Amino acid sequence: MSDEDDRATDPSEAFGLVANETRFSILRALWDLSERRERAASFGAVRSEAGVRDSGQFNYHLDRLTPEFVREVDEGYRLTEAGRRVVGAAVSGVYTDRDVTVGPEPVGECPGCGGELELRYEDGYVLVECGDCGRGVFDMSTPPVLVAECDDGEVVDALVRHATAAFQRMNRGFCVYCDGPLDSVVEPLVDADDDSDPVVELSCRACDRTFRWSVAAGVLDHPAVVAMLYEAGIDAREFPVWGVFTRLDRDVRVTGEDPLRIEVSIGVDDARMELLVDGDLTVVDHERVE
């Protein structure tokens, strides 16, 4: 239903309103005051917390933040949801911490050449690529705050869990960038020179970004697969998506073109699940084979 024109404030105008150090101090002050469970904060309390001496200047900037980011209520001022999002995004480091890097850390065997897959964090992405042939098997936007807030010994695990959760959320249909709805379309054509799987392409209706991954990864959170993994001692909530290449035995084949049908066979230990997937990644049939 929504069209850019229907929105109350132009995005570039909204970003312009917070592109100022004093205004960000005011948002952060309101955030900190509301953390102490004060529903609203008085003009004086916010000014003191924000450290703005000049009352006129403070008043001017507070006024510019209203009503998009700050709302005036009977008891004083409070953040809107947009105001909380701005503070959260700033704390996440996504706009500022450009040089944070982690890795490379070995995470398994390359499905292409048998070399070592390596996990790295750079440029705001978790990347899993082969150190030998260069093949990339996974990338996911991940905020730098995880690296900043985790001890050295836990940072790789935190990055893996965040990337896995973000992937699972996208598989359920929500864009990692804008939270808009994603549409899934299975692409049956595979380059004849390439040994990679047929892929599903997910495109965001709102921001137009597209994402692609193996159809086998796309069915990892089907309950029948989750149950099979659980019996094999694997908790799907913590199973990284590249595990589909390093830990599972998979086979993905096109079995019908009109309508499109893809057979995905996933094996772990002695168990195997065969799933029949249609053109928008819906599992239309599945069978456990031993």
Residues in the chain: 290
- For residue 196, the 8-state DSSP code is P
* Least Cβ distance, residue 40 to Zn ion (angstroms): 33
Q: Torsion over CA of 109, 113, 114 and 120, rounded to 10 degrees?
A: -30
Contact region for Zn ion (CB under 5 A) — 8-16, 58-66, 162-170, 172-180?
172-180
From the list 35-43, 132-140, 236-244, 261-269, the region that binds Zn ion by CB under 5 A is 132-140
180 binds Zn ion (CB under 5 A): yes
CA 130 to chain centre: 22
Q: Is 110 in the site for Zn ion (CB under 5 A)?
A: yes
Integer Cα distance of 18 and 89 in angstroms:
12
Where is 213: in which H helix or E strand?
Answer: strand 210-214
Judged by CB under 5 A, which of 65, 79, 119, 175 binds Zn ion?
Answer: 175
Residue 204 interacts with Zn ion (CB under 5 A)?
A: yes
Out of 103, 104, 108, 115, the residue judged to bind Zn ion by CB under 5 A:
115
CB of 106 to Zn ion, least distance (A): 12
Does residue 188 contact residue 256 with C-beta atoms inside 8 Å? no
Q: Are 176 and 155 in contact (CB under 8 A)?
A: no
Q: Is 284 in the site for Zn ion (CB under 5 A)?
A: no
Question: Side chain identity at 48, as an amino acid letter?
Answer: S
Residues 6+ apart with CB under 8 A from 132: 110, 113, 115, 116
Query: Are 91 and 81 a contacting pair, CB within 8 Å?
Result: no
Determine the interface stretch with Zn ion among 109-117, 210-218, 222-230, 269-277 (rule: CB under 5 A).
Answer: 109-117
From 39, 96, 207, 251, residue interacting with Zn ion (rule: CB under 5 A): 207
- Candidates 147-155, 190-198, 202-210, 227-235 — which segment interacts with Zn ion by CB under 5 A? 202-210
What does the binding site for Zn ion look like in residue numbers (CB under 5 A)? 110, 112-113, 115, 130, 132-133, 135, 175, 177-178, 180, 204, 206-207
